[in-house]
Structure formats: structure tokens, C-alpha cells
Amino acid sequence: MKQTKDATNAQLAHGGRYVMKKLPEVTLAFWIMKIAATTLGETAGDLFAQTLKLGYFLTTIALFGMFVVTLLVQLRSRRYNPFCYWTVILSTSMAGTTMSDFMNRDATAKYLPAGASALGWGPQGLGLGYPTGAAILVALLIAIFVAWRYTGLTFAIRDIDTFRGEALFWGAILVSNTLGTSMGDFLSDSSGLGYGGGALLVTGALVALLALKYVPVVPNVALFWAAFVLTRPLGATAGDFLTKSNAKGGLDLGTLGSSTVLLTVLFALMAYAHAKDRKHGPRFHERAPRRSRRRSPTRRRMNARRAPRANAA
């Protein structure tokens, strides 16, 4: 413990050059927790919207509010906390599930329980369909990345250390999880592959991304975001496989039972990550230099006119 404290003081002695990391290292454990969180997000979102019959509209509002609250806690934290971080990931997965369902589905019989004419209170869904919904989400995700690029902040998750960078990161996470849900539901319900086939297809794509990691010309940041999006449909198809009826090709474990087991697994993984983090102490990295903004010709001319006055004074 004394060594950790001494290391912390030594890092802080560099006059602000080093900052505490607020986001985790991307390791195998990271991806295992990501898949567990996204699978739980699928089953828990369906639990509230379908099993408890709250409907997509009310559930989306409630879960988006939960996302905002957990995000504010994460943004206000000064260092990486596994419980805070993975709670936000879980909330984006749950909100993304119902947001996707609300965008793509409607009150037709194939989306409702047998004999039901509506699901919950309020609008039943926009009925855009998976291709249109996915196209909108892809455009929104690209817009976030363009805005992110314009700020000059890093895309590398381990180097994000500003409020603006983290806010952009979480915006991209929410949209990518919603997009991943649409992809997973399309593969499971509309592509003819079924739950097992959809999961195998996404797994194959993830293996291909892993192989591309060893190709020097392919940037790791692009591979990370592609893998982050693809692990969401993997979690969605896995969640559907656990909860859907045998007649639909699932295991029929139910949303409540599956969510309880997955929550226990995720909580155990978070506790392990928290214990590991406390053992090694806070992690630091050197603050990346800010990209200087080029001044416009008009601004340069104005500064040139002011310079003689300043010298005369």
C-alpha cells in the first residue's frame, strides 16, 4: 500500500503532466465483461418492455434516464472505477435495446405477445424497420466521430482524459449499442439465420477483426470500434437465444431468470476488476499534447495590427 501511495505522489509531482485514467485497459477481460453486459442489456431491456409489459416507449424513457444518471456519476469521478464504468455500459445496453425496438418495431402481431393488441402505454413504435433504423444510427455514429475528429481529441480509449472526450466517447457507446441491437435483431429475426446462425456470423466477423490486428496498416482504434459495435449483436443474439421459446429456436429460460444469472456474473466480474484495481492503485498516463488550431488569415491580420500598439505602449 505504501508503494502505491509513493508511486501516486511521484506521478503527481510532474506538474500536471500525468493524469489518472478513467477508462479501463482493453484486455481479454474487458471483452468478456462487454459481452456479459450487452447480453444482460438485451435480456433486461426485454424484461421491462415485454415481460412486465411496460412497452418500448415508457421503458426507453426510464432506461435513458438511468443512462443519464449513471453517466453523470462516471463523468464526475476522478479515476477509473469498474462499478461506475460497467454500470454505464450496462445502462447503454439496456437503453439501446428498447431504443432500437421502439425505432424498428410497431404494433403488428409479430412483435406482440399472443392475443395482445398493444404493449404498454403510449406509442407502440415507429415501425421504421431494421434497414432504415440501422441506416439512421450509422449516420448518427458517423456524425459523432466527425465531431470528435474536429475537436482534435484522441480516439484511443486508454488516452481519453478530458470531459469533452469522455462525453463524445459515451455518446458513441450509446449509439453503437443501439446500432448493434438492430443488427442482432435483424440477424436473429429477419435474416433467416436464427439465433445460432447469427451468433456464428458475428463471431466469425470478430475473429476476422482479431486477425486484422496483426496487419500493420490497419489502425487499432478502428478495430476497437468495429469490435465494440459487433459485440453488441453477439450479446443480442445470445440474449434472445437464452430467453426465446423453444418454438422460436431459443432455450426458453425467460427474461427474469436469464437476467438474474447474467447480473450475478457481471457483478462478480466487476468485483474482481475492482479488487485488482485497488491492488495496483490508480493508473496514470502522460497527458497528450493538444492539437494547435490554425488561425484564420483574418485573425492573423488583426493580431498584426495590434502588435505595433502593444509595442508603443
- The pLDDT averaged over each successive group of 10 residues in the chain (313 residues) is 46 46 81 90 88 89 95 89 92 93 80 68 83 92 93 84 90 92 82 80 91 89 88 82 77 86 91 82 52 49 52 47
Taking CA atoms, 57 is separated from 45, 54, 100, in Å, by 12, 8, 11
CA–CA gap between residue 241 and residue 253 (Å, rounded): 9
pTM of the model: 0.79
pLDDT at 114: 62
Q: What is the pLDDT of residue 242?
A: 83
Q: What's the confidence (pLDDT) of residue 6?
A: 47
Query: How confident is the model at residue 61, as a pLDDT?
Result: 94
